[in-house]
Amino acid sequence: MATRNIQHAVTLATSSVVPRIFTGDHRVLAKAALIWPVFALMQPLNGAVFALDGILIGAGDGRYLMWSMLAASALFIALAALAYERHWGIVGVWAALDVLIAARLALLAVRFAGRRWAVVGWG
C-alpha cells in the first residue's frame, strides 16, 4: 500500500515535468495538465489489475478473463459515448478509462478471492 501511495505521489508531482519531455506544444501541455490527476489515479489500480491478470492467465482462467474484460469494456464504451455526447473531452474519456480499470479490478478481485481459479493439476 505504501508503494502505491508513493507511486501516486510521484506521478502527481511530475505532472509539469513528464509531459514536457514529449512535447513543447502549449495546447498539448494544457490538455495533459487536465488529465494528469485522472492518469495518476489510474496507476495504482493498473498495478493490481496487471498482477491479477498474470495470476489468472497463469492459472489458465482465460475464459473468465475474456468475459470480465467484455463486461468492463461495455461499461467503458457506454461512459466514453456519454463523454462524447456531453462534450466532456479528453478528461471524460480518461475518467471512463479509470472506470474500466476499476471495474476490471473489482471483477478480478472477486474471482481471485473465490479461489475457483486455483485448480490443482490444471492441464
More confident residue, 121 or 66: 66
Instruction: Tell which residue, 9, 8, 10, 36, has the closest CA to residue 22.
Output: 36
Put residue 64 in one of left, alpha, beta given phi > 0 → left and psi -120 to 50 → alpha. Answer: alpha
What integer pLDDT is reported at residue 11 of this predicted model? 80
What integer pLDDT is reported at residue 17 of this predicted model? 87
Q: Residue written as cell 478473463?
A: 65
Alpha carbon distance 38, 36 (integer Å):
5
Q: Output the CA torsion sign for 87, 88, 90, 95.
A: negative
The answer to whether residue 80 scores a pLDDT higher than 60 is yes
Confidence of residue 116 (pLDDT cuts 50, 70, 90): confident
pLDDT (average), residues 101-120: 91
What integer pLDDT is reported at residue 1 of this predicted model? 61
What integer pLDDT is reported at residue 12 of this predicted model? 81
What integer pLDDT is reported at residue 43 of this predicted model? 87
CA Rg value for the chain = 17
Confidence of residue 13 (pLDDT cuts 50, 70, 90): confident
Q: Rounded to whole angstroms, what are the CA distances from 78 to 41, 70, 87, 93, 105?
A: 21, 12, 14, 11, 18
